[in-house]
Structure 1
C-alpha cells in the first residue's frame, strides 16, 4: 500500500469509515468525528500524499479554489488503489465502506464518488466543492452522498457545491444536502445530520 495510514478495527457488522483529512491534517484528524458518527466503526485513515509548502493535501491546486484536475483524477485513482489494497490486507471485503471527508478531504472523497463508484458508494462530505468538471457518466444509482456546507464559507463557495450536487443527481445518486449558517467548519448540527444519514 502506497499511503501512510492508520487502521482501527471494528466489529464486522459495523461500517468502515474512510477518513479523509483537510489541508495540513493527518491520520488522527477525523478520528473524534468518526467516533461521534459511529462509535463502533472500523477506521481507515490515510494521509494525503501531496505536500503544499509542508502541508499534506490529496491533490495539487493551481491557486486557492483552483484545482489541478488532472492531478485530482490521478490521485483519486491512487486513493482507490490504496482502499482496494487495504480491504484485502485487513479483511474488509464485503464490509460497508463510507468515505468521510472535510475540505480538501471532502473534495477527494467527492472525486472518488464520481470517478470510482466501484470503490466508494457512500460518502459524508463536509465543506466540499465540485472536485472535477465533466466527470464520466457513471450510473450512480447505488451511490448515497451527504453534503454539508456553510452559507458563509469563502473557501468552499455554495455555487461550486451546487454544481457538484447537480452532477451527482444527473447520474442518479441519492444526495442529502445540509446547510448551516457558518463558514469553513463542521458544525454540531451538521454532525447530527450526518449521524442520522449514516444510520439510515
Structure 2
C-alpha cells in the first residue's frame, strides 16, 4: 500500500465523485458534527459537485473538532498550524488517490470547520485556494503567519450577533485577507451586506438537517465577501446563497 493511499484511507472521510466537470467541495464540519452531517449540505450548495468530507481528528469532551483550544474562542495556535498542515497533506494525497487533477476544490466549513478551512487556506494556499466560511473567525491568534494569497478566493458569512464568532475577530480576518491578497495589478474589494438577526445566527451542525435550513441561515447573516479575482465563475453560489460575486 502506497504512502498516498495510507494517508487517505487512514483518515475517516466521505467521498462521492460527483460530475466530472463540477468542482469538489471539501466539506468541514463544526464542533460536535461529523463528516456525514456536513457532507449532506453539499448538494444544497452545488448540485452535482464532488464531495470530500474528512473527519476532525481532535476530540473535546467526546465531540469532534479540528484543533485544540484553551477556552471558548481561545485557540491553541500551534495546534491550528499543525492541523492545517495535516489537512493540506490529506487533500494533496486525496487529489492523487481520487484522480482529482484539474478539478477545482473549494473548502466549505462551518464554525470550527470554517476556522480550519481559513487556516489551511491562509497557511497552505497551494493546497486550498478557495474557501466558503460559515460562522468562522480569525484562526491565528496574534500571529501574522499567512502566506501570499494572491489568486485565492474567500466568501465569509457571519451573523452580526453570533457570540461564538464575534465581529471583532471577523473584522481581523477580513483585514488579514485584504493585506495578504493585495497585489500591484489586482484590486481587492470587500462587499458587506447585513441582515441582523436578534440573538445571533448560531446553528449547530445537526440543525442543518440535510441543508434545508441553509436559506434561513443566510437570510439572517452578515454577508462579507473578499475576493481578489473577477468572479466565482466555477460555482453556482449565486442561486444557492443569493450572493453575487464582486467584479474587479
Name the TM-score, length of structure 2 as normaliser.
0.74
1:31 is aligned to 39
Q: Please, what is the CA RMSD of the aligned residues?
A: 2.1
Counterpart pick for 1:149 among 135, 158, 171 = 158
Query: Match of 2:196?
Result: 181
1:29 is displaced (CA, Å) by: 1.7
Check the 8 A contact 2:44/2:240 in 1, yes or no: no
When residues 137 and 25 of structure 1 are mapped into structure 2, their CA distance, relative to the original with a 3 A threshold, is closer
Deviates more, 1:165-174 or 1:153-162: 165-174
Q: Deviations over 1:14-49 (max 9, x none)?
A: 000000000011111223321111010000000000
Task: Please tell me whether the aligned partners of residues 218 and 241 of structure 2 are also in contact (alpha carbons under 8 angstroms).
Answer: no
Q: Which among 165, 172, 176 is matched to residue 163 of structure 1? A: 172
Q: For residue 70 of structure 2, give the secondary structure of its aligned residue in structure 1.
A: strand
1:105 pairs with 87, 101, 113, which one?
Answer: 113
TM-score (norm 1): 0.91
Give 1:197 deviation, angstroms. Answer: 5.6
Number of aligned pairs?
Answer: 199
**Larger-gyration structure (1/2):** 2
Gaps of 5+ in 1: none
Indicate whether 1:94 and 2:94 are aligned.
no
Q: Which runs of 5+ in 2 are unaligned?
A: 1-6, 183-187, 204-213, 222-236
- Structure 2 residue aligned with 1:19: 27
2:130 aligned residue (106, 113, 122): 122
Partner of 2:66: 58
